Structure 1
Amino acid sequence: MIRMLLSASAATLAITSVASADAGDFRLSGGYTHVDADSVNFDAVALRAGYDFTEFFGIEGEGNIGINGDTVAVGATNVDVDMDYALSGFVVGRLPVAENANLFARAGYTTASFDASAGGATFSDDDDGWSYGVGGEWFFDGVNGVRLDVTRTEFDQGGEADSFGISYVRRFGTR
Structure 2
Amino acid sequence: MRKMMIMAAAAAAMMATPALAQSAWSMDNARGYGTLGYSYLEDSYTGAVQGRMGVELNRYLALESEVGIGVKDKDFQIAGVDGTLEHEWDAAGYVVGKVPVGENFEVFARGGYGHTEMKRTIAGQTTDEGGDHWSYGAGAEFKMNADNGIRADWTRREYKGDRDSADAYSVSYVRRF
TM range (shorter): 0.7 to 0.9
User: What does residue 164 of structure 1 align with?
Assistant: 169
RMSD: 2.3
SS at match of 1:22: helix
Compute the displacement of 1:21 (Å). Answer: 2.2
User: What does residue 113 of structure 1 align with?
Assistant: 117
User: What does residue 127 of structure 1 align with?
Assistant: 131
As a proportion of its length, which structure holds more strand? 1
CA deviation map 1:79-133 (0-9, x unaligned):
2001101101000000000112110000001101111112222222451011000
Higher relative contact order (CA 8 A, sep 6+): 1
CA deviation map 1:42-79 (0-9, x unaligned):
01101000111110011100011100111233333232
Counterpart Cα distance in 2 of 1:107 and 1:126: 19
Comparing 147-156 with 20-29, greater Cα deviation is found at 20-29
Q: Which amino acid aligns with 1:80?
A: T
Work out whether 1:64 is the aligned partner of 2:68. Answer: yes
User: What does residue 104 of structure 2 align with?
Assistant: 100
Equivalenced residue count is 160
Compute the displacement of 1:25 (Å). Answer: 1.6
Work out whether 1:31 is the aligned partner of 2:37. Answer: yes
SS at match of 2:120: strand
User: What does residue 152 of structure 2 align with?
Assistant: 148
Could you list the runs of 5+ residues in structure 1 that have no partner in the other structure? 1-11
User: What does residue 88 of structure 1 align with?
Assistant: 92
Counterpart Cα distance in 2 of 1:103 and 1:50: 16
TM-score between both structures, scaled by the size of structure 1: 0.83
Q: Which amino acid aligns with 1:54?
A: N
Q: Which amino acid aligns with 1:134?
A: A
TM-score between both structures, scaled by the size of structure 2: 0.82
User: What does residue 6 of structure 2 align with?
Assistant: none
